[in-house]
Amino acid sequence: MYKIMIFIDGTWLYRTLPRLAESCGKQEFKVDYGILPKVIARELGEYLGVGALGVDVVRNHLFASLPTNYDPQDAQLITRQEEFYRLLKEDYHYQTEIFAIDFRGRRVRHGDRNPEDTFQPREKCVDIALASQLLFYAALPSAMDIAVVVLGDRDFIPMLNTARRLGKRVAIVSVRSSCAQELAEPHDQAGVKDFGVIWMDDLLDELELRYEPQELECQSPDHQGDRHFWTTYRPRRGEPVYCDACRQAYAERRNGGQQQDAGEDYEDYPPQEGMPGLGETLGGVVDFKKEDKGYGFITTDDGVSFFFHLTDLEGGLAFENLDEGQEVIFEVKALPKGGKAGAAQRVRPPEEAAE
């Protein structure tokens, strides 16, 4: 099994979208970030001759920026962008690193600003954050076998060279019209890659987001305040929809006041009794650790087993110092199914439970 991590230059991808739209003759093109890692895994699995099941996407990272100090007329635009980053994190389990860009009171879209205004928004940290994170994981012995980067800028060449010197294989996912020559070149003089570039241009049909986030109205009679919320969920005709807050409140009441998340899918609403919900925080002990492979299992007080990878550790926990029998808390990333253990994320020391 090949472990891969995906590192997306969100700023580059966002800039590239109009070109992708053009190449499929549409007004606009939106990427389905839920599908993207699966398509990448399949493409790499084919290259490696192991199929999609031979490739395990252990983590997706996205680096991007978000305007601050912008003209209040753009509030809705920015709320929508914030909501998009939240979806990536909560629904698709991306690790997101988002950096503020100061707009100094200006409108966010260039076309909405006074044409005589020479103001240039300056993005900070995004490239360096991507490079630091990638090289951090490349330097860990067992975090990943292949670093997959979704980008096109030449600035990343030294990072790709270094990742390969650390013994990791590198795959590049890019867009033909927005990819630096040195990255694209089949003979790879720059020494940046171990596979042919995976061109998004060739996969547009699969990568297009068909269920984009939409604004719905919460129909809970107990709802407080503005009823509008954004979601990618598509309710069936006539099916009532509820915002996160109302689902959570409902779940808490149902569980006699105990804290319990309603889970991510509306399919789970109302939640099944006795089953932990996705995203719920549970406590347990580390009961097995596979040193050389960088993973282990946590058993909860109820005897349910959850898998974790070293990259799921947080709050100062380091894989090498983790003892079997040590108490931890974690978030449920996947539920146990058919005798298979569940999966844990955000594994951290119990002290943080008080938050």
* Cα(83)–Cα(66) distance, integer angstroms: 11
**Are 232 and 90 contacting, i.e. CB atoms less than 8 angstroms apart?**
no
Q: Is 220 in the site for Zn ion (CB under 5 A)?
A: yes
* Cα(13)–Cα(25) distance, integer angstroms: 18
CB nearer to Zn ion: give 19 or 223: 223
**Are 329 and 283 contacting, i.e. CB atoms less than 8 angstroms apart?**
yes
Q: How far is the CB of 251 from Zn ion (least distance, A)?
A: 13
CB nearer to Zn ion: give 16 or 231: 231
Judged by CB under 5 A, the chain residues 286 through 345 that form the site for Zn ion are: none
Q: Choose which of 62, 243, 262, 343 interacts with Zn ion (CB under 5 A).
A: 243
Q: With b meaning 16 or more CB within 10 Å and e meaning fewer, what string describes 317-349?
A: bebeebeeebebbbbbbebbeeeebbbbbbbbe
Q: How far is the CB of 218 from Zn ion (least distance, A)?
A: 3
CB nearer to Zn ion: give 217 or 287: 217
Other C-beta atoms closer than 10 Å to the C-beta of 102 total 13
Counting residues that bind Zn ion (by CB under 5 A) gives 5
Q: Choose which of 38, 113, 154, 223 interacts with Zn ion (CB under 5 A).
A: 223
> Torsions phi, psi of 272, nearest 5?
-70, 140
Amino acid at 83: E
Tell me 325's DSSP state. T
Q: How far is the CB of 87 from Zn ion (least distance, A)?
A: 17
Q: How far is the CB of 235 from Zn ion (least distance, A)?
A: 14
CB nearer to Zn ion: give 263 or 276: 263
Q: How far is the CB of 258 from Zn ion (least distance, A)?
A: 20
CB nearer to Zn ion: give 249 or 334: 249
**Count of helices and strands (H, E) across the chain:** 8, 13
CB nearer to Zn ion: give 191 or 240: 240
Which residues of the shown chain bind Zn ion in the complex (CB under 5 A)? 218, 220, 223, 243, 246
